[in-house]
Amino acid sequence: MLNGKLSRKRRGYIGLMRALMYAFAALTCALVLFLIAYVLVKGVPNISWELLSTSPSYLTERIGILPDILNTVYIVIATLLIVLPLGVGAAIYLTEYAKNKRVVAVIEYAAETLSGIPSIIYGLVGMLFFCQFLGMQTSLLAGALTLVIMNLPTIMRTTQESLKTVPQSYREGAFGLGAGKWRVIRTVVLPGCVDGIITGCILSVGRILGESAALLFTAGFAHALNGIFEGLTSAGATLTVALYVYAKEQGEFGAAFAIAAILMGLTLVINLAAALTQRYFRRKKAL
Q: 66 vs 273, which CB is nearer to another protein?
A: 273
Write out the binding residues for another protein, residues 44-103 only, by CB under 8 A: 85-86, 89-90, 92-94, 96-98, 103
Contacting residues for 192 by C-beta, under 8 A, at least 6 apart: 162, 163, 165, 166, 170
Write out the binding residues for another protein, residues 130-169 only, by CB under 8 A: 149, 152-153, 156
Distance linking the first and last C-alpha atoms of the chain: 46
Shortest spacing between CB 87 and another protein, in angstroms? 8
Q: 3 vs 60, which CB is nearer to another protein?
A: 3
- If binding is defined by CB under 8 A, does position 129 make contact with another protein? yes
Among 110, 222, 225, 273, contact with another protein (rule: CB under 8 A):
110
Among 117, 222, 224, 273, contact with another protein (rule: CB under 8 A):
117
Among 213, 222, 225, 273, contact with another protein (rule: CB under 8 A):
213
Q: 81 vs 275, which CB is nearer to another protein?
A: 275
Among 53, 109, 134, 276, contact with another protein (rule: CB under 8 A):
109
Q: Give the Cα separation of 128 and 135 in Å (integer).
A: 9
Write out the binding residues for another protein, residues 188-207 only, by CB under 8 A: 206
Contacting residues for 136 by C-beta, under 8 A, at least 6 apart: 130, 142, 145, 233
Q: Give the Cα separation of 254 and 270 in Å (integer).
A: 24
Q: 74 vs 257, which CB is nearer to another protein?
A: 257
Q: Give the Cα separation of 142 and 138 in Å (integer).
A: 7
Write the DSSP symbol of residue 80.
H
Centre a 10 Å sphere on the Cβ of residue 23 and count the other Cβ atoms it contains: 10
The rounded Cα 158 to chain-centroid distance in angstroms is 12
User: Count of residues for the chain?
Assistant: 287
Among 165, 233, 250, 271, contact with another protein (rule: CB under 8 A):
271
Q: 195 vs 211, which CB is nearer to another protein?
A: 211
Element (H, E) at 108: helix 101-116
Give the residue ranges of DSSP H helices in the chain. Answer: 2-5, 8-43, 49-53, 66-92, 101-116, 119-126, 140-164, 168-176, 181-184, 190-192, 194-210, 213-216, 228-233, 239-244, 253-286
- If binding is defined by CB under 8 A, does position 280 make contact with another protein? no
- Contact characters 215-254, another protein, x per CB under 8 A: -xx----------------------xx-xx--xx----x-
In DSSP terms, which residues pair with 57 in a beta bridge?
Answer: 62
Shortest spacing between CB 58 and another protein, in angstroms? 20
- If binding is defined by CB under 8 A, does position 36 make contact with another protein? yes
Among 12, 18, 53, 173, contact with another protein (rule: CB under 8 A):
18
Q: 45 vs 57, which CB is nearer to another protein?
A: 45
Among 81, 121, 194, 228, contact with another protein (rule: CB under 8 A):
121
Among 44, 66, 77, 107, contact with another protein (rule: CB under 8 A):
107
Considering only CA atoms, which of 80, 22, 44, 19 is closest in space to residue 207?
A: 80
